[in-house]
Structure 1
Amino acid sequence: MKNRPLCSLCLVIAILIGVLTAGAGAKFVPELRPSPVEQYGEKDDWLIVRGQVYKKEEKEKYQILYLKKCSVYFQKDQQSQQNQQSQQSFIKESRMLIYDEKKNKIQIGNEVEAEGKLSFFETARNPGNFDQKAYYQRQNIHGKVWSETLKITDHTVKRIQNVLENIRVHCRNILLSEAGEKNGSILSAILLGEKSQMDPEIKKLYQVNGIGHILAISGLHLSVIGIGIYQLLRKLTGSYTIGGIGGIFFFFLYVLMIGVTVSVIRAGIMYLFRVGAEIAGRHYDSVTALSVAAAVVLIWRPLSIYDGAFWLSFFAVFAVVVIMPAGQMEKAKTRTEIDIQKKRENKAWIIQIKSMIISNIEMQLFLLPIVLYFFYEFPLYATFLNLLVIPLMTILLSLGITGSFICMLCSGMFKIPGKCMLGICGFILTIYERCCEFFLELPGARVVIGRIKIWQILFYYGCVVVICVIYYYEKKRTQKKEYAKGQERNEAQECEKQRKQRKRGNTLTGMLCALGLFVLLHRFDSLSQMQVTVLDVGQGDGIFLKSPGGMTCMIDGGSSDVKNVGQYRIEPYLLSKGVGTLDYVFISHGDSDHTNGIEEMILRQKIGVKIKTLVFPKESVWDESLKKLAIYAIENGVQVAVMEQGQEIEKQGMKILCLCPGSDYSGGTGNGASMVLSVSYREFDFLFTGDVEGIGEEKLCESIEKYCPEKAFEILKAAHHGSRNSSSEIFLQKVRPKYTIISAGIENSYGHPHRETIERLEKTGSRILATANCGGIEITVEFGGKIQYTLKEGSETTAYEESE
C-alpha cells in the first residue's frame, strides 16, 4: 500500500467512520438522534408540513412525496387550523414523507403544503423482520404524514430532474405496454430501478435462486451505459477526451434519473476513475477507486455499514479485483507443462468454462457470510445459474435500453425494431424464470442457515486471509529462481518438486476452507433447551416452538390488521432462526386472524418456509374455513392430521398434549371449539389457548383437572387476545400462570386486551407481557432448570432469567 497513498488514506477514513458509527452511535451519527419532529411530536398529531419535493414514488393507490427543508407546524386539532395559523410555532425538520392518495400533479422542485396526521416508522416487530425505522433513518427521514389536503405553495421546478422524471415514467409505461405487464415490470426494475409494480413472487423467486442482484442498479448496468457510450463516442470522434466527457455526461443523467443508491455511487466513482485514467493516459487502479468509493459512501451515509447492499456491492468488487487474482498462481512453464498446454489448446472452451465455474464458486464463497447474515439462506446452485444469467444480462440490458429508446422516439412501423428487441428481452426473462423454477426443484436448492453471529463472520474471513497469504507466498516462490546462473536445470525434478509443494499448499487450503465453512454454517444453538416465541403478528396469533432436538412447530399464524403476515412477519422470523421447514403447524380454529398467514405460507412453500403437516382439532368442530384450509393444504402437498383430546406428540423431551375440544363438547364451531395445547419440557409447562371462551373454557378446566391436575403453568398464552369473555377467575385459579402473554395488535379496534381481563390476571399475581408493547416475545427453557425470556421493547432487547 506504500505506492497507493490515496488508497491508504481512504481505507483509514472508511475504517474510522465504521468504527465510530458502530461504537459511538448517536454521538457520532446525527441520524440516530431523535429528530425535532420525534422530540416534539406524538403519533396522530395534526400537522401542517411545508417543504420542497426532491423525489416522487408512484404506488398503485397513492404517491409518496419526499420533502426536504421542511417546516412543521403543530395543531391541537383539525378544526383549529384556520383561526390559529398566525399563532402557530413551528420546527425545522430535514426531511419527511408525504403520502398523497389523491395523486396530485406535483413536480420535483415544487414547494408544497400538506396537512394530516403524523405517524412514525416501525422498528422490526420480530427478529428477522424488516426494520422500517432503520431503513428511513439511513436517509435521515424520521416521520411521515398521510395528507388530507395538499397544495403547491411555490411552482418553481427543477427542470433537469423533471425532464428525467418524465422520461423515466414514459419509459416505464412503454415497457409495460410493449413488453406486457409481467415482463415490462421486471424490465422497469432492471433498467429504471422501479420495483413498485413488479410481481413480488417473481422478485422472491430471483432472490432465493441467487440472481436477485440483476434487479439492483449496479456496476453491470452502469458499465453497459457509461462505458458503452464512452467507447462509442471515442470511436466516432477518435478522441479519448470527447468520449470520456460524453460518457460521464450521459452517465450523470442516468444516475439522476434512477436515483442515487450505494451501489450506484460505488459504480459511478469507479467509472470516473477508469475513464479519467484513460483520458489522462494513466494506469487505472481499481483498488484505489474502490477504497475512494467506500470512503465517499460512508462520509455520505455512515449508517450504510448496517445495509446489506453496501457490503454486497463492495465485497463483490473486492473479490474480483483483489481476492481472485491472489488465488491465481503463476506456474512455471516447464517443457512438460508446455506439452500439456499444447494438447489442451484444442479444448480451450472447456478450460474457459471451467475457469468461469471456479471464479463463480470463489465469488459465492467469498460473499457467503454476508448473504447469510442479511438473508439467512444461500442458493446451492446459484453458481451454475449465474453462468447463464450474467452473459445474457449484457444482451438484456443492451436490447432493453435500445428497444425502449426506439419505442419512445418512433411511432407506427418504425417502432417494430424496438418491439422486437423488447420481445427478445421478454424471451430472456422467460428463460430466467424457467431456469429458476428448474433449479428450485433440485434437492437442496435452498440451504437455510439463519442469521449467523459476527464472530463466525470474522473467523471465516480470517481463514480467507490466511488462504490468500498462502497463495501469495506460493506465487512468489514459484517466480523465484531455483537454480544459480549456469547450473544445469533438471526439468523433471523441478516439476515434481513444484507439484509436491502445490499439493501441500492445496491440502492446507482445503483444510482451512473446510474449517471456515464448518464454523460459518454450523448453528451453535444449545441442544439442551426449548424455545418458544410468541410473534408479534398484530391482531392475531402466531407462536413458534422448537424442541431441544430441533423439531419445529407453529401454533396458529394469522392477523386481521397486518397484510401478508405470513410473508412479512412469520417467514422472515423463521428463516432468521434457520427454520426452512416446519414439522407441524397446529390450527386452533378457523378464524382468519389465526389462519391467513398459514394459508399464505402453504402457497409460498417453494420460495418461503415448507410445512410438512397441518394439525386440526377433531373434525366435528370444523367450520367452513377449516374445511377449505384442509382441502387447500392437501392440494398443495401438505399432510393434514387431526389431534383429539388426550392425544400427544412427544419428541426430544418436548411433549405437546391436546386438552380440548373433547368428545363431550357440545358447543358450536368457532372460538369455544378452539384446540387448546399443553406444551411441557421437563418441569416447565405452557398453555396455548387459541380463542377459547364460554363453554369451551369450562370444558378446559375439566380437562386440566383430568390430564394435569398437579400442574401450575409457568406460561399462559391468554385466550382471545385478552378479551373480557375469556380468562375467567375460575380458569385462572386452575392454571395459576406465572407469566401471561397477550397477543394483540397495537391500538386495535377491539380494545384488546380488555381492562377486566388485565385486572383478573393482576389479581392472580401473573406477570403480563403483551406483544403490542414488547414486539415478539422469546422464551428459552434451559435443561438445567432455568427459564429465560427475551422481549423486544422498541429497539432494545432485554433478557430475563429466573431459576426454579
Structure 2
Amino acid sequence: MSNPLLVVTAAFIAGAGLGHFYYGPLSVIYMIDGLYLVFGIAYFFRCPWHRVLYLLAVLFFLAGMTRYLTAGIIPESDISHFAGQGVTIAGTVADVPQITNLPDGTRRLKFKLTAETVGSYHGNPMVSGGILVYVAQKNNDSMVAYGQKVLVTGMVVLPHGYNNPGMIDMVKLYQRQGITARMATSAKLVKIITVTGQSSWRDHLAVWHERIKKEMLQAMPPKDAAMLNGILFGGYEGIDRQVVRDFATTGIIHILSVSGSHIALVAGFIYGLGKRFKWHNRLIAAVASAAILFYAIFSGMTPPVVRSAFMGLVLLLATVLGREKDAATALAFSALAMVARQPGLIDDISFQLSFGSTAGLIFLYPPIAGKLPKLPGGITDILSATLAAQAAVLPFLAWYFNSFSLSSFIANILVVPPIELMVLLGLLGILAGLLFSMAGHLALICCSLLIGLVVQINSFLAMLPASKIYIPAPGILAVLVYYFLLAWLFGYLPKYFLSPARVWTRWPARVSGVVLFLAISFLFYSFYPQPVVVHFIDVGQGDATLITTPHGRAVLVDTGGSAGSDNDFDVGERVTLPYLKHYGINSLDYLVLTHGHQDHAGGAAFIVKSLPVKNIVLAREDYSPAVQAIMRLKGSSAVIPAYRGERILLDGVLIQVLHAASSTGQVQRNEVSSVVRVSYGKYSFLLTGDLEKQGEAAMLTNGVPPTTVLKVGHHGAKTSTSEEFLQALKPQYAVISVGYNNHFGHPHAETIQKLLKHTIKIYRTDRQGAVVFSTDGETLAVKTFTN
C-alpha cells in the first residue's frame, strides 16, 4: 500500500482500536510516547527515505491510542460525579425538546441540558457536562425551549444500557453526544429562569418539519406519511414495526434513515443535472456542495448526517482539484479527521458501517465488477456494489446482527431505485409546495403510491426462504484473519505476498491439503463436546438464563420483559433474541417460564415467534397477558405444566423442577415461581425465579440439595433469600439479575449482607452485565461482560 495517507490513517484507527482494550494506567502510554519521540527523532535523520513511512505509521498508531484514551477522561467538574445525589442543577437547554404523548393524556419531555452550576447561579460550585433530562408533565404545563436558562431538581443517574455482547454501548453513545448523566423529574421541579430562549435554526426547522408532516398527512395515509418522513428526515416513529423488520431482513434498513446514500443521491442528481446542461465541474461542485449542506441542515444535522455530508464535501473538493479518481485518499482524510476529533467513533456502528461500505465500494467494487458477466440495465453494477459493500462490513454485520441478507441483492435492484426516486420526488415536492401547493401535493401523492409499491415488494422478498442467513459472531482473531484474506484475494497486500492464483499454480497439492485439513478440523470441532455454559443475561429488571449443553442444545429459563407502562421496547426482540443469536442459538429445546410476570415472561412471545421452540414449560397459574401472547404464537410447541420432580436430561445435563406451586383462580403470587436446578458433573445452578421466603420454606420442608451457584430470588428483594435457605444451599456464588437504579430498591441491603456473611461471591447484572459460567463437570470458570 503506497498511499501514505491510507497508511497513517489505518495506523491511527488501529491505535484507537487498541486503546479500546487498554485498561492500564495512562502514564505508561505517555512514557511510551515520550520514548518513541526521543528515539524516533534521533533515528529520523539517518533513516532511509523508504522507511520514513514506517516511522510515521508507528507515530500515528501511538497518537491514535493516546487520543482515544485521553478523550475518555471525564473532568472532575463533570456533572456525572454527582450520581446518586438529589440536586438542583442550573444550566442551558442545549437542544429542541422532544415530546412524547402518552396514552394517559400526559406527555414526556426529553432534552439535553448543559450543566453550569449545582444550585442557583450565585455562589454555587461550577460544573460541566451534558445531562439528559426527562420531564413528566401534563399537556397544559409550560415547556422549556432551546437556549433557556433553567433549574431542574432530581436524582442524578449515570447512563446505562444492556451490557451484553453484540449490543451497542449506550454509555459511550451518550458520551459521544456530550451526555454523561441523566435525570428524571416532574414539571413542578423544573423552573425556567429566562422566559425566552434563543431562536435558533433548530427551532425554525422543527416548526418547518411539523408543517411538512401536516402536508404529508393531507396527501397520504398516516403510515405512508410516517414512512416518507423517516426516509427524508430519519427515524422510525409511526412506521409499522413489521415494515422495519422487513427492511432489516432485506439489508436495506439504512434507507429508512438519512445516511450517506441520501447525500450521494442529492449530489448525484446535481451532478447529472450539471452534465445535462454542460456546467463547468467547479460550478457543479459548488451547487452540489450547497445542496448537500442544505439537505444536512434540513435533516437536523444529526451526527451520521454530518459525517456523510463531510465525506461528500471532501469528494467534491477532490473533483474541483482534479483528483476525482483519488477517492481512497479522500476517504482516508475524512476518516482521519473525524476519528482524530472524536476517537469514540470507532465504537459507533453507524461510522463502522458507513465508512466500511464506502471503503468496499472504493477497493472491492472495481475488481468484482470486472469479474461478473455484463447484464442489462446496470444490474451488474448494482450487484457488484452490493457485494462489495457487504463483503467489506461482513464482520460488523456478524457481530451486531448475526445475519447476512441474500435478498439484499434483489432488494437493491427492485426496491432501492423506487425509494431513491421517492427521495428526490419528496424533496422537490416539498420545495415546490412552498410556491405551488398543488404541485407539492401531487408529488406527495406520487410518493405515497411508490411507498405502497416498495413496501409490498420488500415484504415479499423478506418472506422468501433463506432471505437472511445466520452467521456467527466473530472474535477479534477471526476479524483480523478475514480482512487479511480479503486484502490478499483482492491484491492489496505487499508484493512479497504471492497472489492466490500464483499460490495455487505453484503448490496445488499443498493448497488442497491445507483446505482439506481445515475442513476436517472444522467438522471435528463442530462435533466435539463443548463445556456446559450457563448465561445470566442482562435484561434489566428481570430474569433470563440460557443453558447450552455439550452438543449445542439450548434451554432458556425466563426471557425478561418490560416492567413499566412503556411497552414499545420489547426486551425479547431487542435484548434476549440478539443475545441468543450472538451465541449461535437458532432453536430452543425448552423454554421454561418460572411464572407469568412481565419481567420474566414479557419477552417470550417474540422468542416463540422468531425461533423454533420444541417445548414450553409453564407454571400452573392463570395465564398472564404475556403467557396468553405465547399461547397465540406457540404453533406446534408442546406446552408442559410444571410439577415438582419433573426431570429433563440433555447431553448429560440434568434439569429438575424442585418447586412448582399452583395458584389457578387466584391472584398471581411470587410463590408460584417454579424453581429449576441445573446440574452437570460436580456443579449445579439453582434458578429461583421470584420465589419468596414462604416458598423457600416449602422447599426446605421437602429437602433441597446444596448448589454451587444461586440465582438470588426476586432480584435480591428483602422478602427472599432467607438465612435458613442459604444455610441449606451453601452456594459459592450468587447472581442477582436486577435493573440499574430500579425503583424497587433491589437488591436490598439486608440480602447483600446475608450473602456476604456466608462469604458468597456476588455477581450483579446491573454492575457487571451478562454473567457467564462454563464447566466441563470437573472445573468451573466465570466471566462477566464488563471484564
1:460 counterpart residue number: 482
Query: After superposition, what is the alpha-carbon deviation per residue over 1:420-448, rounded to whole angstroms, capped at 9, x for unaligned?
Result: 32222322332344234423xx1x44434
CA gap 1:111/1:577 in 2 versus in 1, 3 angstroms? same
In the alignment, which of 383, 387, 400 is matched to residue 413 of structure 2?
387
Q: CA deviation at 1:626?
A: 8.2
1:496 counterpart residue number: none
1:544 counterpart residue number: 546
Supply the distance in 2 between the matched residues of 1:377 and 1:677 (Cα, whole angstroms). 33
Higher-Rg member (1/2): 1
Supply the distance in 2 between the matched residues of 1:514 and 1:212 (Cα, whole angstroms). 38
1:310 counterpart residue number: 351
Query: After superposition, what is the alpha-carbon deviation per residue over 1:361-411, rounded to whole angstroms, capped at 9, x for unaligned?
Result: 344333211211232332343333333233333222222222333445444
Supply the distance in 2 between the matched residues of 1:223 and 1:262 (Cα, whole angstroms). 16
In the alignment, which of 259, 280, 299 is matched to residue 340 of structure 2?
299
SS of the residue 1:153 aligns to? coil
RMSD (Å), alpha carbons: 4.2
- Name the aligned partner's letter for residue 742 of structure 1: I
Q: Note if 1:598 corresponds to 2:604.
A: yes
Q: CA deviation at 1:459?
A: 0.4
Supply the distance in 1 between the matched residues of 2:525 and 2:384 (Cα, whole angstroms). 27
SS of the residue 2:78 aligns to? helix
Q: CA deviation at 1:615?
A: 1.0
Supply the distance in 1 between the matched residues of 2:518 and 2:233 (Cα, whole angstroms). 39
2:654 counterpart residue number: 655
SS of the residue 1:650 aligns to? strand
Q: Note if 1:139 corresponds to 2:161.
A: no
In the alignment, which of 362, 365, 381 is matched to residue 324 of structure 1?
365
- What are the within-5 Å matches in structure 2 for residues 29-108 of structure 1? 29-35=69-75, 36-38=77-79, 40-51=81-92, 53-54=94-95, 56-60=97-101, 61-68=107-114, 70-74=115-119, 86-91=122-127, 93-101=128-136
1:396 counterpart residue number: 422
The answer on whether the counterparts of 2:662 and 2:672 sit within 8 Å (CA) in structure 1 is no
Supply the distance in 1 between the matched residues of 2:131 and 2:693 (Cα, whole angstroms). 48
Supply the distance in 2 between the matched residues of 1:264 and 1:519 (Cα, whole angstroms). 46
- What are the within-5 Å matches in structure 2 for residues 298-697 of structure 1? 298-327=339-368, 349=375, 353=379, 356-357=382-383, 359-411=385-437, 413-439=438-464, 442=465, 444-469=466-491, 527-559=529-561, 561=563, 564-602=570-608, 605-606=609-610, 609-617=611-619, 621-625=620-624, 629=628, 632-633=631-632, 636=635, 638-661=637-660, 670-693=669-692, 696-697=695-696
2:44 counterpart residue number: none
Q: CA deviation at 1:146?
A: 3.9
SS of the residue 2:111 aligns to? strand
Percent identity between the two aligned chains: 23
1:714 counterpart residue number: 708
- Name the aligned partner's letter for residue 611 of structure 1: V
Supply the distance in 1 between the matched residues of 2:733 and 2:407 (Cα, whole angstroms). 46
- Name the aligned partner's letter for residue 346 of structure 2: I
Q: CA deviation at 1:243?
A: 3.6
Q: Which runs of 5+ in 2 are unaligned?
A: 23-28, 30-64, 102-106
Q: CA deviation at 1:12?
A: 5.6
1:166 counterpart residue number: 207
Supply the distance in 2 between the matched residues of 1:545 and 1:679 (Cα, whole angstroms). 9
Supply the distance in 2 between the matched residues of 1:258 and 1:644 (Cα, whole angstroms). 57
Q: CA deviation at 1:599?
A: 3.1
Query: After superposition, what is the alpha-carbon deviation per residue over 1:312-352, rounded to whole angstroms, capped at 9, x for unaligned?
Result: 11121211121232456699xxxxxxxxxxxx9xxx64696
Supply the distance in 2 between the matched residues of 1:517 and 1:424 (Cα, whole angstroms). 50
Q: CA deviation at 1:635?
A: 5.5
In the comparison of the two structures, how many residue pairs are matched?
Answer: 726
The answer on whether the counterparts of 1:329 and 1:471 sit within 8 Å (CA) in structure 2 is no
The answer on whether the counterparts of 2:536 and 2:770 sit within 8 Å (CA) in structure 1 is yes
The answer on whether the counterparts of 1:743 and 1:770 sit within 8 Å (CA) in structure 2 is yes
- Name the aligned partner's letter for residue 268 of structure 1: A
- Name the aligned partner's letter for residue 483 of structure 2: Y
CA gap 1:650/1:273 in 2 versus in 1, 3 angstroms? same
Query: After superposition, what is the alpha-carbon deviation per residue over 1:264-302, rounded to whole angstroms, capped at 9, x for unaligned?
Result: 445434433444455455544211211111112112211
Supply the distance in 2 between the matched residues of 1:772 and 1:553 (Cα, whole angstroms). 23
Supply the distance in 1 between the matched residues of 2:174 and 2:250 (Cα, whole angstroms). 28
Supply the distance in 2 between the matched residues of 1:575 and 1:224 (Cα, whole angstroms). 34
SS of the residue 2:153 aligns to? strand
SS of the residue 2:603 aligns to? helix
Query: After superposition, what is the alpha-carbon deviation per residue over 1:9-56, rounded to whole angstroms, capped at 9, x for unaligned?
Result: 655655555556665668754441124225641234323232263555
| TM-score normalized with structure 2 length | 0.80
Q: Which runs of 5+ in 1 are unaligned?
A: 75-80, 332-343, 478-499, 706-710, 798-804
- Name the aligned partner's letter for residue 586 of structure 1: V
- Name the aligned partner's letter for residue 654 of structure 2: K
CA gap 1:232/1:596 in 2 versus in 1, 3 angstroms? same
CA gap 1:387/1:568 in 2 versus in 1, 3 angstroms? same
SS of the residue 1:554 aligns to? strand
Supply the distance in 1 between the matched residues of 2:157 and 2:481 (Cα, whole angstroms). 42
- Name the aligned partner's letter for residue 719 of structure 1: G
CA gap 1:598/1:248 in 2 versus in 1, 3 angstroms? same
Query: After superposition, what is the alpha-carbon deviation per residue over 1:181-218, rounded to whole angstroms, capped at 9, x for unaligned?
Result: 22222222221123344444433332233111212322
CA gap 1:596/1:166 in 2 versus in 1, 3 angstroms? same
In the alignment, which of 720, 726, 729 is matched to residue 732 of structure 1?
726
SS of the residue 1:575 aligns to? helix
Q: CA deviation at 1:668?
A: 9.0
Q: CA deviation at 1:572?
A: 2.9
| Larger displacement relative to structure 2 (393-402 or 648-657) | 393-402
| Larger displacement relative to structure 2 (242-251 or 400-409) | 400-409
Supply the distance in 1 between the matched residues of 2:523 and 2:431 (Cα, whole angstroms). 46
- Name the aligned partner's letter for residue 676 of structure 2: L
1:181 counterpart residue number: 222
Q: CA deviation at 1:456?
A: 0.2
| Larger displacement relative to structure 2 (157-166 or 296-305) | 157-166
- Name the aligned partner's letter for residue 791 of structure 1: T
The answer on whether the counterparts of 1:591 and 1:670 sit within 8 Å (CA) in structure 2 is no
CA gap 1:587/1:275 in 2 versus in 1, 3 angstroms? closer
The answer on whether the counterparts of 1:716 and 1:739 sit within 8 Å (CA) in structure 2 is yes
SS of the residue 1:558 aligns to? coil
Supply the distance in 2 between the matched residues of 1:375 and 1:767 (Cα, whole angstroms). 33
The answer on whether the counterparts of 1:589 and 1:626 sit within 8 Å (CA) in structure 2 is no
Supply the distance in 2 between the matched residues of 1:757 and 1:472 (Cα, whole angstroms). 61
| Larger displacement relative to structure 2 (155-164 or 423-432) | 155-164
| TM-score normalized with structure 1 length | 0.79
